[in-house]
Amino acid sequence: MYKTEVRGTLIKGNKNYHQVSSDIIAPIDQPIPLWWKAAFGISLLAVVYGIVAIYLTVSIGIGTWGVNNSVGWGWEIINFVWWIGIGHAGTAFSIFLLILRQRWRTSINRAAEAMTVVAVGCAALFPALHMGRVWLAFYIFPYPNTRGPLWVNYNSPLFWDFIAISAYLLISASFWYFGMVPDFATIRDRATSKVKKAIYGFFAFGWTGSSREWLRYEALSYVLGGIAAVLVVSVHSIVSTDFAVSVIPGWHTTIFPPYFVVGAIFSGFAMVMTLMIIIRKLYKFQDYVTDSHLNAIAKILVFISLIMGTAYASEIFIAWYSASDYEFFTFFRNRITGDYAFEFWAMIICNAIIPQLFWSEKIRKNLTAAFIISIIINIGMWYERFNIIVTSLSKDYLPSSWTTYNPTWVEIGVYIGTLGLFVVGVLLFFKYIPMIAISEVKGVLKPTSQKTNHHD
């Protein structure tokens, strides 16, 4: 078996290539399980709720939300940043490990990338929806026009955002899709029904599996990986500039770009962990997604959690050290104590303290514990964005404009809608796309020098 010195056997169960294909394609061929239908139904309901909320938002106005003249951004931007953060994991995971030639990634990267695409799709909804006049959203696109020509404002972080997110979505989706081409070909070749053959055939792009194709395939994935690696860093740095470029205390912070990128990877990895535990459990992929994989993710999480804690601490330290009254107030009297203390401490406990439990191997190996902690991290990261966005705006410079912010059921509805959309996306992925990169897993099944026992 393919072994590395650190991680041991990557794929367990002494599989042969045929077994790998069958195992992984099984969910696509088999009838839809009951839990899938139930989950799909519930998520669809959530999506419908979201659609109603979006309809109200667009038809009546942003006034249906709880945001106000002091707190101009609320849940919509919190959720935007949160989803973008989650959307980081897939690409970060698969690309950094690809470039670092960490081949243990192969069992996980497909699911992580799928999650990225769905999450970034969910995220992209919010910047559009938060516009007062979403029907004029194309103004933000630098297209030639007869209005002067009136051009976009290249100084605005929101414009950078728009470019960064579109680029990231495009590259992530391409990377994910091109990675699947050989697998689609496999399904096509194994498909019995004509329709299935035609559909998967279309997506397989006429893949034949020739050496030349493999060569180009590899080259393409490295090129796309190279571009995406840059984007992983840039996209959340740029999202962070939405805040860092401003003058608002608690936003105007130079630590934001790295802090946001790390935070994004943190939430993304936590979500990968959540998802992999689910896949492993429901589809019995223990042989592919092994304890060692989860162990590795948990170790990464505990490391990032330390970085997060450091970031929080240095933010607080600088708020004091800068001797800026306004910043001091924001951090010490509005976050650590004050109206938003709950949200602040929720963030600290969820992100910086609880993940420290992963120091213990026992907890790392306990799937239930790992699952719960991964969920807690994602809740904590939501609170982090709440802290940044709402607390800073609610009490900024002039005490006269201080106010509080409470979401309405409409903006909560949009969030629930995106959660539903995410689950729907993931469920469709479970059902129609091989969850684990078959071709890549085969690559790590046995060392290349060993003689293979090819049945296909």
Number of residues that bind another protein (CB under 8 A): 53
Q: Which stretch binds another protein (CB under 8 A): 13-21, 265-273, 323-331, 417-425?
A: 323-331
> Which residue, 134 or 369, is less far from another protein as judged by CB?
134
Q: Is 342 in the site for another protein (CB under 8 A)?
A: no
Backbone torsions φ then ψ of 172, nearest 5 degrees: -60, -45
Q: Is 72 in the site for another protein (CB under 8 A)?
A: yes
| Per-residue binder mask for another protein (CB under 8 A), 357-396, x = binder | ------------------------------------x-xx
Q: Is 56 in the site for another protein (CB under 8 A)?
A: no
Which string of b and e fits 152-189 if b means at least 16 CB within 10 Å? eeeeebebbbbbbbebbbebbbebbbebbbbbbbbbbb
| Nearest Cα to Cα of residue 441 among 7, 18, 53 | 18
Q: Which stretch binds another protein (CB under 8 A): 89-97, 358-366, 397-405, 439-447?
A: 397-405
Q: Which stretch binds another protein (CB under 8 A): 107-115, 309-317, 322-330, 349-357?
A: 322-330
| Nearest Cα to Cα of residue 71 among 383, 405, 400 | 405
| Nearest Cα to Cα of residue 423 among 159, 162, 135, 118 | 118
| Nearest Cα to Cα of residue 358 among 276, 297, 290, 277 | 297
Given 83, 168, 176, 329, the residue binding another protein (CB under 8 A): 329
> Which residue, 102 or 156, is less far from another protein as judged by CB?
156
Q: Hey, what amino acid is at 250? A: G
Given 17, 217, 402, 432, the residue binding another protein (CB under 8 A): 402
Q: Is 411 in the site for another protein (CB under 8 A)?
A: no
Given 8, 30, 41, 151, the residue binding another protein (CB under 8 A): 151
Q: Which helix (H) or strand (E) holds 3?
A: strand 3-4
| Per-residue binder mask for another protein (CB under 8 A), 259-288, x = binder | ------------------------------
| Nearest Cα to Cα of residue 239 among 83, 426, 92 | 83
Q: Is 404 in the site for another protein (CB under 8 A)?
A: yes
Q: Is 28 in the site for another protein (CB under 8 A)?
A: no
Q: Is 337 in the site for another protein (CB under 8 A)?
A: no
| Nearest Cα to Cα of residue 382 among 343, 413, 438, 409 | 343
Helix ranges (DSSP H) in 205-255: 211-244
Per CB under 8 A, contacts with another protein among 157-176 are 157-159, 162
What is d(CA 428, CA 118) in angstroms, rounded to the nearest whole number? 11
Q: Would you state the structure tokens that stand for residue 33, as one six-digit string?
A: 């399980």
Q: Is 320 in the site for another protein (CB under 8 A)?
A: no
The DSSP code sequence of 247-301 is: -STTT--TTHHHHHHHHHHHHHHHHHHHHHHHHHHHTT-TTTS-HHHHHHHHHHH
Given 4, 153, 337, 450, the residue binding another protein (CB under 8 A): 153
Q: Is 248 in the site for another protein (CB under 8 A)?
A: yes
> Which residue, 34 or 398, is less far from another protein as judged by CB?
398
What residue ranges bind another protein (CB under 8 A)?
Answer: 60-63, 66-73, 127, 130-140, 150-153, 155-159, 162, 242, 245-248, 325-326, 329, 393, 395-404
